[in-house]
Chain A
């Protein structure tokens, strides 16, 4: 599995995501809001990039641009060397809330992805079973969303986003609503899933330690109008044991540095 990841990294001289001089302005009833300005970001294939920043700095907007759910007011967004013009289908998207269909069991919620894409049923079921085992949902396949805890629901959402083996996975504060303990578990699992699948991941988060633990690079954003303050290279290997990583000097340096950046940004606000 690690070999697969290395292969993807090597093959991927091209960028998974390219954002050039992007600005986004929203028009509401009586005011114009600049959400993002002068944003440039390039993510290589197979890379894990986390985005942190104060609330309302346009982190989610950035993900929606990449997914094609929003159009930039100016600038260019490219996904796998193609300009993003409308909603993209070669991505997996995970929201903060699991957004599951209440009337479908966990398995059928995961298979929604396959049904919408008209994937061959047998292949989809097989893949769903793999993912269910991988995320530790075994035994809960036939449970309905209201019978699952928040962490379980989020795992279902993650499986759904991974079902079609998307080259790019976009995650918008996926663990924001979870308790600290479940969150740590999900972080460990996400790290393993990323290593096993070799997917490019863009993760928006509020947690600095989550960002540093998971990512190759952490993008630090300024308050609105959001722009990139700095991109921090974490510089740790892909395989990371949770408790051990927390104790590493690289981890401490990176978190302290990012905390400093966000602190100064807040002070300057």
Chain B
């Protein structure tokens, strides 16, 4: 990493040019600003390691604790299986687990996507029409307050044992955070920005596309992160109530047979799906909103 500092040009990147520099401004590069090379692979790896070693250490410590409990037989093996037994199940029944994980992932993703599309649409309509908001909001709140787990059996009665009731539950459970965050985001737009847009002669559509929607994205993404983890829960709850495939079904079967290694394996895979989906949303956020304040950490501007 090399730093090229222009000689004899004091000042920081934010300082306005001086009166003397003004005449030359426009052509010459700004005084006191030097372009740095992008960090190399080694530096990026070190950066990633620096960020992730703490949670990894905690995870390893938890695994060690689990292993100690199982190895010392503090608890009966049929209640808490050893990490080894769980790992055996994971490696030996990979095909079986993969097949059912795929079903759950599929239901989760489909539910999440439908929740996002419907949620964003509902939020936009609610923000633009107070009549719709007044009508829809109480209904939404009611739909959120009703325990989804309690109505899940009803959906099975209505929609059968197929994929539909699982998706419906995932949608219902993931929908609310999306709507709430999107409404907040759309309402959080700087009113002066909207007035400015009015003086520019912008159509409502232009204002929405160029100002309101991008401004609401940081809020939306925090809602999406909650929603995507809830969607996994929704899909599994649907499978608990009535299914012949999916991780919920696997766990229920393992529970019935007192097959705790399989139960633990199912739980691990399920958690992994949630974590991976959450990380995917985070990556999407990072790619779409590089400008957002929460990304503006020390790595953007720092003294050296």
Given contacts A136-B25, A152-B14, whether A101 and B19 have CB atoms under 8 Å apart is: no
Which residue of chain A has the shortest Cβ distance to B214 in the bound complex?
A103
The contact of B201 among A93, A117, A140, A144, by CB within 8 Å, is: A117
Binding stretch for chain B, among A43-51, A108-116, A207-215, A244-252: A108-116
Query: Shortest Cβ distance from A100 into chain B, in angstroms?
Result: 9
B16 engages A149 (CB within 8 Å): yes
A136 engages B200 (CB within 8 Å): no
**23 A-B interface contacts by CB (under 8 A):** A69-B195, A89-B201, A91-B199, A93-B195, A95-B192, A95-B196, A97-B190, A101-B193, A101-B211, A102-B215, A102-B292, A103-B289, A115-B210, A116-B210, A117-B200, A117-B201, A138-B27, A138-B30, A139-B28, A139-B33, A146-B300, A147-B300, A185-B19
Interfacial chain B residues near A189, Cβ < 8 Å: 22
A93 engages B33 (CB within 8 Å): no
Which residue of chain B has the shortest Cβ distance to A170 in the bound complex?
B199
A116 engages B201 (CB within 8 Å): yes
- Which residues, 260 to 304 on B, are CB-close (under 8 Å) to A? 289, 291-293, 296, 300-301
Instruction: State whether the Cβ of B144 lies closer than 8 Å to any Cβ in chain A.
Output: no
A93 engages B26 (CB within 8 Å): no
Query: Considering the chains assembled together, what is the distance between the CA atoms of A182 and B15 in angstroms?
Result: 9
- Which residues, 25 to 47 on B, are CB-close (under 8 Å) to A? 25-31, 33
Query: Shortest Cβ distance from A185 into chain B, in angstroms?
Result: 6
Which residue of chain A has the shortest Cβ distance to B191 in the bound complex?
A99
Instruction: State whether the Cβ of A151 lies closer than 8 Å to any Cβ in chain B.
Output: yes
B14 engages A148 (CB within 8 Å): yes
Instruction: State whether the Cβ of B117 lies closer than 8 Å to any Cβ in chain A.
Output: no
Query: Considering the chains assembled together, what is the distance between the CA atoms of A88 and B196 in angstroms?
Result: 10
Query: Shortest Cβ distance from A133 into chain B, in angstroms?
Result: 3
Query: Considering the chains assembled together, what is the distance between the CA atoms of A155 and B14 in angstroms?
Result: 13
Query: Considering the chains assembled together, what is the distance between the CA atoms of A87 and B197 in angstroms?
Result: 10
Query: Shortest Cβ distance from B180 into chain A, in angstroms?
Result: 22
Which of the four size classes fits the interface of chain A? 35 or more
Query: Considering the chains assembled together, what is the distance between the CA atoms of A132 and B291 in angstroms?
Result: 22
Instruction: State whether the Cβ of B206 lies closer than 8 Å to any Cβ in chain A.
Output: yes
Query: Shortest Cβ distance from B33 into chain A, in angstroms?
Result: 6
Which residue of chain B has the shortest Cβ distance to A137 in the bound complex?
B25
Which residue of chain A has the shortest Cβ distance to B197 in the bound complex?
A116
Instruction: State whether the Cβ of A67 lies closer than 8 Å to any Cβ in chain B.
Output: yes
Binding site for A on B (CB under 8 A): 13-17, 19, 21-22, 25-31, 33, 190, 192-193, 195-202, 206, 210-211, 214-215, 289, 291-293, 296, 300-301
Given contacts A97-B192, A149-B16, A185-B16, whether A67 and B21 have CB atoms under 8 Å apart is: no
Given contacts A101-B215, A103-B289, whether A133 and B202 have CB atoms under 8 Å apart is: no
- Which residues, 111 to 167 on A, are CB-close (under 8 Å) to B? 112-113, 115-117, 129, 132-134, 136-140, 143-144, 146-149, 151-152, 155
A146 engages B201 (CB within 8 Å): no
Top 3 closest pairs, chain A to chain B, by CB: A139-B30, A133-B26, A149-B14
Query: Shortest Cβ distance from A148 into chain B, in angstroms?
Result: 6
A136 engages B197 (CB within 8 Å): no
B199 engages A69 (CB within 8 Å): yes
A152 engages B16 (CB within 8 Å): yes
B25 engages A146 (CB within 8 Å): no
Query: Considering the chains assembled together, what is the distance between the CA atoms of A115 and B300 in angstroms?
Result: 29
Which residue of chain A has the shortest Cβ distance to B195 in the bound complex?
A69
B206 engages A116 (CB within 8 Å): yes
Q: Among B21, B195, B196, B296, which residue has the most Cβ atoms of chain A within 10 A?
A: B196
A136 engages B201 (CB within 8 Å): no
Which residue of chain A has the shortest Cβ distance to B200 in the bound complex?
A116
Query: Shortest Cβ distance from A164 into chain B, in angstroms?
Result: 8
Query: Considering the chains assembled together, what is the distance between the CA atoms of A153 and B300 in angstroms?
Result: 18
Interfacial chain B residues near A68, Cβ < 8 Å: 199
Query: Shortest Cβ distance from A121 into chain B, in angstroms?
Result: 15
Knowing that A64-B195, A68-B199, A95-B192 are A-B contacts, what are 12 other residue pairs whose CB atoms are under 8 Å apart, sorted by A's residue number? Answer: A69-B195, A87-B199, A89-B199, A93-B195, A101-B214, A129-B26, A136-B17, A138-B25, A139-B31, A144-B291, A146-B296, A152-B16
A136 engages B16 (CB within 8 Å): yes
Interfacial chain A residues near B22, Cβ < 8 Å: 136, 189
Query: Considering the chains assembled together, what is the distance between the CA atoms of A151 and B16 in angstroms?
Result: 7
